[in-house]
Amino acid sequence: MPADNRILQEALDCIRNLREIGHLSAIVHQLRTLVGAANLAYQALFIPGRVASERLVAATYSENWKKLYQLKNYLRTDPIEIAARRASQPVEWSYLRSASKEAETFFAEAERHGVGNNGVSIPLADAQAGRALFSVTSNLKGDDWAGFKERALPSLIQIGKAIQLRTAEIETKPAAKASRISALTAKETEYLALYVAGYEIKQIGDMHSVSGTAVRVALNSATEKLDARGPRHAGYLAIAFGIIPTSFVMK
């Protein structure tokens, strides 16, 4: 993936346009071409409110590999997922190949089925959006693969996070959406948007010439109306409801 901000923005725009979970696979296929990867795979390990057994997976892998993965029950023994669940930083596949005979067999079969010569998996964790894994593979080797990672990894992390946020938004279907949206005042909505975008309470107060206490009162009121666990959770729900546009917090 070239170090080109235009490509990153195009990828983020593509993700923002996702309207239905059923279209995620098509989006992931588009992103694979855009970033120049052999394969991409997005796997939601946990989304709040979604039944754990109903996995959300969108990958560009071959049908043969997908069938073999299920046939051999790799869902339970996949060395990539096992390592990623314990990791907070991107997991380089080459470090996992020799971990065990089972891992060697897994990667050998994956390569035979066109998954790619090299890969890296990015663990994603968000307090409200849950946990996910975004994997990128390539047929590049040696220095070429190292160079690709150096150039592309920061953008790939952003792309993975954007998919996580967007899919969590779509999956969240709280009750009484319309009444909750109408219940928020313009002030509560504006303060909440600024807060979820990263502004501190004092900054929001200074921007509107009000005290920090006034800002907290508005945020607490919005939190109560949205039946949220706190202001940040309220901000997340406001994004899911469409009160705050995704683009506001993904700039």
Work out the angle between the directed axes of helices 212-225 and 201-208 (0-180°, nearest 10).
110
Contact (CB, 8 A) for 236 and 129: yes
CB 61 within 8 A of CB 114: yes
Instruction: Domain 177-249: give its CATH architecture.
Output: Orthogonal Bundle (1.10)
Q: Encoding tokens for residue 23?
A: 């279209």
Q: Where are the domains of the chain?
A: 5-171, 177-249
**Residue-level pLDDT at 150:** 93
222 contacts: CB under 8 Å, gap ≥ 6: 184, 188, 189, 191, 192, 228, 231, 234, 238
Average pLDDT over residues 15-41: 93
pTM for the full model?
0.67
- Give me the mean pLDDT over the 130-142 stretch: 94
When pLDDT is cut at 50, 70 and 90, the band that residue 248 belongs to is low
pLDDT by residue (tens digit) across 75-122?
A: 889 999 999 888 999 999 999 998 899 999 999 999 999 999 999 999
- What is the tens place of the pLDDT at every residue in 152-205? 999 999 999 999 999 888 876 544 454 555 578 889 989 998 998 889 999 999
pLDDT at 249: 56
- Measured between alpha carbons, how far is 234 from 221 in angstroms, rounded to an integer? 10
Q: Which CATH number fits domain 5-171: 3.10.20.30, 3.40.50.720, 3.30.450.80, 2.102.10.10?
A: 3.30.450.80
Residue with the larger pLDDT of the pair 52 and 229: 229
Share of the chain above pLDDT 90, in %: 57
pLDDT at position 191: 92
What pLDDT sits at residue 251? 44
Q: Which residue has the tokens 């160079």?
A: 147
User: pLDDT confidence of 230, banded at 50, 70, 90?
Assistant: confident
Residue 238 and residue 193 in contact, taking contact as beta carbons nearer than 8 Å: yes
Comparing 228 with 77, the larger pLDDT belongs to: 77
* Percent of the chain whose predicted confidence (pLDDT) is above 70: 88
* H helices present in the chain, as ranges: 5-16, 24-35, 63-71, 74-77, 79-85, 101-112, 142-171, 177-183, 186-196, 201-208, 212-225, 231-241, 246-249
DSSP code of 124? E
Arithmetic mean of pLDDT over the chain: 86
User: pLDDT at residue 19 above 90?
Assistant: no
Q: Tell me, what's the pLDDT at 51?
A: 47
Q: By the 8 A CB rule, do 142 and 171 touch? A: no
Give the pLDDT of residue 200. 93
- How many whole angstroms separate alpha carbon 144 and alpha carbon 96? 20
